[in-house]
Structure 1
Amino acid sequence: MPQLEPRIVHSANPYNAEPRLGFLRTWKLTPADVFYVRSHGDIPRPEIASFRVSVGGRVRAPLTFSLAQLRGDFTRHTVEAVLQCAGNRRSDLQAVKPVAGDPWAGGAIGNATWSGVMLADVLRAAGAECDPALHVAFDSLDDCHVEGHAFRYGVSIPMSKANSAEVLLAYDMNGAPLTAEHGAPLRAIVPGYAGVRSAKWLTAITVQESPSTCYIQSQDYKLFPPDATPDTANPAQGMTINDMPLNSVICEPADRAVLAAGKTTLRGWAIATARGVARVDVSINGGRDWSQARLEHDAGSPWSWTLWEHEVEIPAGNHRLAVRAWDSAGQTQPADADDTWNYKGYLCASWHRIDIGAT
C-alpha cells in the first residue's frame, strides 16, 4: 500500500474527500476513516441524548423518536450496501470538457454494513399511508450553500422504495456507531440509489404527495442532455437521479504508474445493483482485445459491490488499460465519456481507462 494519506481532499469547507483507489480496493468493507465523504455544508454534531427524529405528514399518528427508542423499540436490521456519489468519476467527464462540481476520480464510492431499523417499520408504526404515488421526504440538520443558494438539506424517495426491506434508518456503520462525517447519530440508507438520497443527520421524515421541494431534490441532482448549459437547463425537465448505472473502475495499478515488465495483477470494483454484475472484461491495449477477470461477489449481499482481479502479462512500453462490466441482461458500459457528458458531471459510466508504463 502506498505511504500516502488515504483520502484526497477536494474541498475543506464543505468537506469533500475520496479515498485513493489503491486504498479503496484493500477492503471488501470500506473502513469509516477511508470511506468517501460528500458534504454540501457544515457537519452537524448534535447531542445524542437530546436528539430526536419526527415522523409526520400523511400518517395516522405523528411520532417522535429518540435514538434510544429506535434502538430499543424496533428490530435491528443490517444490510451490506454500496453508497456512491452521483458525481463519481466526474474527472473523466472533465477531461472531455469542463463540468461543475468536485473532480471525483472514481473513489466517491464505498461498501459497508449498515445497521438500524427498517424505514418501513417506522412508517408502519406511525400509520403511514402506503399509496405508491406518495413520497417520503428526509429533512436533515446541515445548512448548505450550493451555487449561491442557502438552504437546509432535504431529499425524498418514492414510497415504493421507502417500503423496501433494504432501506434503513441507520445508526451503525461496520458494527460501530456512525461517525459525525457519515451522518451521526442517524442517517437514511437507500441502497441502489445515488448517495444523495441517503440523507445524513436526519431530523424529520414526512410522508407527502410530491417530492421534496428542497434545492438538492428539485434542482441540483438532475441529469440534463449534453446541449444543456447552466443558463438553459430547466430543472423541471431534468431527470431525477435515483438508480445508479452499471459501472467499473481499475483501482490497481494507479494511473501513470511505472511497473516492472511481466506478470502483474489488476484489481478494481464493479457495480450493477439492479441486475448484478455478470462479467468484467479487462484490456491492456485500450480496448482492442479483452480478457475476463475473476469476480468476487456475495450472492447474499445484492446491494454490495463486485470486486474483480485479473493477472496479465505487461510487456515493456506504454499501455492504456481499460475495464468494462456486463450485467445479467447482457448490457455493458458505453465506450467513451463523450457519450454521457453533461455539464453537471453526473453518472459517468464509460469504460474506465488508465495509462501505465512498464520497463
Structure 2
Amino acid sequence: MTRKTERSVQELYQDDPERADAMAFGRRGALKGAALAAMGGAVGAAIPLGGNMPPGTLPALFGRPAAAQGAGGAAAGPQMMRIDGKVEMILQGDRPLVLEAPETILDDAVTPNDKIFVRNNGQIPPVAENADSWKVTIDGEVNAPLELSVVELRSRFENVTRELQMECGGNGRAQFAPQTRGNQWGNGAICNASWTGVRLRDVLRAAGVKDGAKHTGHYGADPHLSGTEDRQAISRGMPVEKAMDEDTLIVFAVNGGPIPHINGAPVRLLVPGWPGSLSQKWLTRVTLLNEPHRGQGMGGTSYRVPVTPIVPGSSNDGASFRDMTSMPVRSILSSHAHGTRLAAGTRSLDLRGAAWAGDHTVRAMHASVDFGATWTEMQVADPANRHAWQRWQGRVALPSDGYYEVWYRATDSEGRMQPHAPANWNPQGYGANAIGRAAVLVG
C-alpha cells in the first residue's frame, strides 16, 4: 500500500490557495489553534497577531520573493542585475532590457541617476556623437514646423527644473491574478528625479498650434527589437491638454547633469503623473494631430484599461477600453525590505517611504502590523512641487517577537485609497495599486 504524503501549508498556498484557506481558516474564518501553529511553522516564526489575518490572505512570504532568504522556507530573492551606471536592480527582462528599483533603494527624496529604473521597448540606440547638435522636430498641425537642436532648445526657451515622478504604466502588475502579459513589476518602476528642460507647451506655441490640433504623437531613435526600420519600438501620444501642462517637459538634464544614455540621453520627454511610455526616450519628433495617434503602443489593450470590469483571465480586443491618463495612488516602503530580520526584543519600527498619485496629491498615509485590523496614521510631507512624490514616515509598535507584516496604504486628494486587492483586471496588467505588504521577522 502506497502512503500518501500530505503537502505543507506553504506548498498548498503555492499550488492550491483555496484548499489551503479551507485547511487553515476553517468555517469560521479565524486562523487559530493548530492552523495558526502550522502557518507559523511555514513562515518560520510565531504569528502573534495571526488571528486578524483575513481569510484568503496569502502570507506575504509565500506571495512574493523576499529580498533575502528568509526563515522557514521563504522564497529566494528575485534575480538581480547590475549594469554600468546603475546600482543592483531587479531584472525584469533582458530583451528589451528592463530593470526595477527595489523599494529600499528608493530612500532618497530625489532619486539619484544610478537608481532610476530602466524600461526599454526596443534596441538601445548608439550614443550621440554630439549631444548639443541632436535635433528635435515639431510638425503636423502647426503653422511653422520647427527643427531645434539641444543648444537651440536651451537658448531659445525658458529652462525649468522640477522634481517630477516618472512611473511605468505597468507598475504593480505582479499583483494581478491571473497573471497578465508584460514585465511582472512590483512597485519599483518609479523615480522622482530633478529634471531640467523646457516646457513642451512653449515649443509648441513657437511652432503655432493650429485649432484642429487635438493630440500629439511622439517618436524616438530607439530601433524596433526586430531591427526593422519601418517599425517604431514605441510611439505614443497624448491629448494636447496634457502636452500644454506646465510640468510636461522636453528634458536634457537630470539631477544637475546629463541624462544617462540608458534613460534616454541626450533629450527625452517627461510627462509626469501619466504612464511613463509617454515620456519618449531619445526624442526625435513631436507631431500634432487632429485625431489620436496610431503609433506603436496605441489602441487595443496597450496602455488602456476597461471602462467596465471584465472577467479576469478573459481575452479582449480593448474596443471598450479607455487610454490610461493619471496614474493611481501608490506608495512604497523604503525603510525595511520584504523579508527583513530584526533582533529579538524589537518592539517598534520607524517606517518611512514615499507616496504619489499621478496628477493628484497624497493627503494621508497609514500603516498596519496586525493584518489591517487597525491602522496608524503616518506623517506625510508636502510635495516639493506639483507632480513630485511625497515622503512619509511614522512609528508602529510590535507586541512581541514573531512574524509580522507591515501593510501600508496611501489616500489621494480625491479620497481614493489603495485597495486591499488590485481592481479592474485587464490583459496587459495596468493600474494595479493594492496596499503594500512587507514581511518582517523579529527574533
Give me the TM-score of the superposition, normalised by structure 1: 0.91
Matched, 1:285 2:374: no
Paired residue for 1:38?
119
For 1:185-200, what aligned pairs fall within 5 Å after superposition?
Answer: 185-200=266-281
Task: Please tell me whether Structure 1 or Structure 2 has the larger radius of gyration of its CA atoms.
Answer: 2
What corresponds to 1:346 in structure 2? 430
* 1:256 is aligned to 2:336: no
Which deviates more from structure 2 when the two are superposed, residues 61-70 or residues 254-263? Answer: 254-263
Q: Is the 8 A contact 1:273 1:302 kept in 2?
A: no
The match for 2:215 is 135
Measure how far apart 1:86 and its partner are: 1.1
| Partner Cα distance (1:327, 1:50) in 2 | 42
| Equivalence for 2:93 | 11
The answer to whether the 8 A contact 1:6-1:23 is kept is no
- The alpha carbon displacement at 1:334 in A equals 1.5
Q: Give me the whole-angstrom Cα distance separating, in 1, the residues matched to 2:327 and 2:271.
A: 11
Match of 1:81 among 141, 144, 164: 164
TM-score normalised per structure 2: 0.74
| Residue 320 (structure 1) aligned to one of 405, 414, 427 | 405
Give the Cα separation in 1 of the matches to 2:335 and 2:404: 14
Deviates more, 1:54-63 or 1:4-13: 4-13
State the AA in 2 paired with 1:278: R
* Distance in structure 2 (CA, Å) of the matches to 1:144 and 1:187: 17
- The answer for unaligned runs of 5 or more in structure 2 is 1-67, 69-81
Kept in 1, the 8 Å contact 2:312–2:425? The answer is no
CA shift digits 1:104-137 (9 cap, x unpaired): 1111000011111111111111111255x61111
In the other structure, the counterpart of 2:264 is 183
Deviation at 1:335, TM superposition (A): 1.6
Cα drift, residue 184 of structure 1 = 0.8
- Whether the 8 Å contact between 2:274 and 2:358 is mirrored in structure 1 is no
Contact residue 197 and residue 242 of structure 1 kept, 8 A = no
- Aligned counterpart for 1:106 among listed residues 162, 177, 187: 187
2:372 aligned partner, one-letter code = G
Superposition map of 1:45-84 within 5 A: 45-47=127-129, 48=131, 50-84=133-167
- Say whether residues 1:203 and 2:284 are aligned partners: yes
Secondary structure of 2:291's partner? coil
CA contact (8 A) 2:217 2:295 kept: no
Cα gap change, 1:253 to 1:228, in 2 (>3 Å)? closer
Aligned pairs for 1:328-339 (under 5 A) are 328-337=413-422, 339=423
Aligned in 2, Cα 1:228/1:143: closer, same or farther, shift over 3 Å? Answer: farther
Question: 3-state DSSP class of the match of 2:297?
Answer: helix
Report the Cα distance in structure 1 between the residues aligned to 2:328 and 2:231, rounded to whole angstroms: 30
Deviation, structure 1 residue 49 = 5.1
Structure 2 CA distance, aligned partners of 1:252 and 1:204? 41
Matched, 1:266 2:346: no
When you count strand as a share of all residues, which structure comes out higher? Answer: 1
Aligned-pair distance for 1:235?
Answer: 3.0
Give 1:162 shift: 1.0
**CA 69–206 in structure 1, closer or farther in 2 if over 3 Å, else same:** same
Aligned position for 1:358: 442
Offset, 1:192: 1.3
Which amino acid is the alignment partner of residue 89 of structure 1? G
Aligned to 2:395: 311
CA distance in 1, matches of 2:325, 2:169: 9
- Counterpart of 2:381 in structure 1: which amino acid? E
Amino acid at match of 2:246: A
Give the aligned length. 351
CA distance in 1, matches of 2:305, 2:232: 21
1:156 match: secondary structure: coil
1:145 Cα deviation from its structure 2 partner = 4.0
The code of the aligned residue for 2:88 comes to: P
Percent identity for Structure 1 against Structure 2: 31
